[in-house]
Structure 1
Amino acid sequence: MKKLQTEIINDRLVTGQYGNIRFGQWGFECSDRQSFLTLTDQCRDAYQNGDYWQLAEGDWALDYHARQTDPHTLHIRATLAALRDGLLQDAVIRLVFDKSAIQTGEIAGRKFRHTNSDRYRLYPVHIARLTGTDGTIISVTLDRYDGAGRFTPYLYLRDSGDHWIIHARLLPIDPVDHIWLRWANRLFTWSAPDWLARLIWKCPGGKAIFWRLRERLGRHCPEIQAVPLNNLKSGQSLLLEVTCHFR
């Protein structure tokens, strides 16, 4: 019988295995226009003091817990509270699985094979699945969320490098407070002035074309996209709760 084995240190899942399926470095991410907070990789312009984080456009308190609740199930909970008024483009619980023992991924009723497309298959759904080569079904469900009336939940499924990546993600809802229209390359990042970004966003087709364009089209698309941001008032918070079940 297959058994779920995990290494959880300081409430963070470091590594895990179920049969021949390996996974690990799960965590939390959020970002504004300058800073990137992550528990699993290199932060950018984000400074930590215990559970408190200072970003360029906000100060935040992060409460993150991962735990194994039974022989087949993991539960992750994250709360991000604003210590002062601040802008965010997203808040994310991140799950990463080695691709070697996984046959397909499924989201919004569509199945995909790993082609290293690096496409963010983003949908307003509450469940995504991976199917192992041995028939194991991994179900990732978004159980609870609170977007403080300014963010709404999505899941995405992504095939990138040697991994399958699933994010439970809170993204801004209309009316958005800011539009960040940017073009990034190896030499520089150019950001459109706020007035121009909002003008393009409001033009017919502008939102449909540029909204997270690079993410939707994958690695062969230029790094051009429009990213909305919303403001959270001091004292407001975001909540994500995710369950990962193996069977």
Structure 2
Amino acid sequence: MATKSLQSLHHHSLLKRYITDTTAPSTVPSSVFLHPTHTSLSHSLSSSSATFSLFPTTSSTTPSTSPAISFDLLQDHLSAKNFRQADEETRRLLIVLAGEAAQKRGYVFFSEAQFISEADLKTIDDLWRQHSDNKFGYSVQKRIFEKAERDFSKFFVKVGWMKKLDTEVEQYNYRAFPTEFTWELNDDTPEGHLPLTNALRGTQLLNSILNHPAFQGMQEEDKEEDIGNVVDENSSDNGGLKGLSKRISKPDYSF
């Protein structure tokens, strides 16, 4: 009887071991791969060696956004020519579209622009162009930026975000928000003046928007075309904008 009990116990032990060995592989992935560890975005930005993926991300890394984004308020402001309110709504939409982290923070990191879908960014751009006779919008700014040889100093002057100072030596300074910006659509309003993109933390966010895939397919219009007297390096009136960065007052972004 003792021998039979030992055989039964041994058989039970082998069966239990078999079940454990054969089921283990199916349980390992759930504990290893369903709980990835992510580096804090704020920590990554503080590192000079931080890099950001430009490739499509999975649902575990892509910031979640509202399933239904309404552009009705933006359209209402634009159709009523309330451009200042439309500009504020555009900034709000960018924060919402960039994801939960941006919403909690209250502003968008340049690395989060990739999370905004092409369709949503094009919708914002289309509304601005539609209600400004193609004078405002990101795609308009993109075209001007390319013609300015991707030089932000030239671009800022061209779209009217900088003003020439009344000094003997040619100098430029950034306009103060909101009083020194133009909120009306008229003949004197610089092309590409709106929407504004917050440059308080530098130009990286604006650069990310202008280089977003939503605008990569744009065809440049006449690369040899003069981009305007204020950015003409051969201008005899003011010496052009060559070396403009040396003649710009200390940056004071306020928009």
Q: Which has the higher helix share?
A: 2
Same fold (TM over 0.5): no
Q: Which has the higher strand share?
A: 1
Larger radius of gyration: 2
RCO comparison, higher one (Cα < 8 Å, 6+): 1
TM-score by length of 1: 0.24
